[in-house]
Amino acid sequence: MRRRGRKRKAGQRQRDGRLVKAWVSVAQVAATMPHRKGLAHPADQRAESELGRMVLRGELEEEEGLAGEQYRREWRRYVVTLSAPRDLGKVAGGKSRCNECAVASREFFCLCEARKRAWDEAREVLCDTGTTRVVDRLVLQDQNIEQALHWILKLGLSMLARHYGLVGKKRMSHDETVARARARD
């Protein structure tokens, strides 16, 4: 006797009659994504950004990648202070202390001021080396950097790594840092 309606799809079924779905690993799905092709570890979360892909390909050191990620975090924190300071420092009663930041006597800790200060310090490190545009293009805008500009990028990220305390205590002069960045190219 034939069943009425549409034919059933072929395949193994569960006890309730539904088809058993094939299990697909995250690594298999990640390997099919176009921006992750050619990487040794396509399932690595760092492959989502151009900065992370450069670290995975070995074009940047691990510390330089971490410094770039921290720089991006500082930028996002700073942007939050520009658009919604009232959400940062709520106190009891629903009133925010950050609304009076400009006129307050600074007797309390202000989160938006701390975030602005951290962003300004990181920005100053990049401005001192003249690498701001290249680092911003890679880290904040997630754009590719030409091979000729890689030494500038490495210089800026290594200075940020030193600023954030991600590298050893040995202090190098600016000229030594430039020479090392060019030698890695």
Spell out the residues 6+ positions from residue 44 whose beta carbon is closer than 8 angstroms to its own.
52, 56
Cα→Cα distances 123→1, 16, 23, Å: 77, 61, 46
Using one digit for the tens of pLDDT, what is the confidence trace for 3-52? 788 888 888 999 998 999 888 888 888 888 888 888 888 888 888 889 98
Q: Which of 86-90, 124-128, 167-171 has the highest mean pLDDT?
A: 124-128
Measured from the Cβ of residue 155, the count of other Cβ atoms closer than 10 Å reads: 25
pTM (predicted TM-score): 0.69
> 54-81: per-residue pLDDT in tens?
998 899 999 999 999 999 999 998 887 7
Q: Is 58 exposed, middle or buried (0-12, 13-18, 19+ CB in 10 A)?
A: exposed
In our burial notation (b when 16+ CB lie closer than 10 A, e otherwise), range 67-106 reads: bbbbbbebbebbeebeeebeebbeeeeeebbbeebeeeee
Model pLDDT, residue 91? 43
- At residue 90, φ and ψ (nearest 5 deg) are -70, 140
- Which pLDDT score is estimated for 95? 44
Q: Where does the pLDDT of residue 94 fall: very low under 50, low under 70, confident under 90, or very high at 90 and above?
A: very low
What is the pLDDT averaged over residues 135-149?
91
- Residue range 113-139, pLDDT digits in tens: 888 899 999 999 999 999 999 999 999
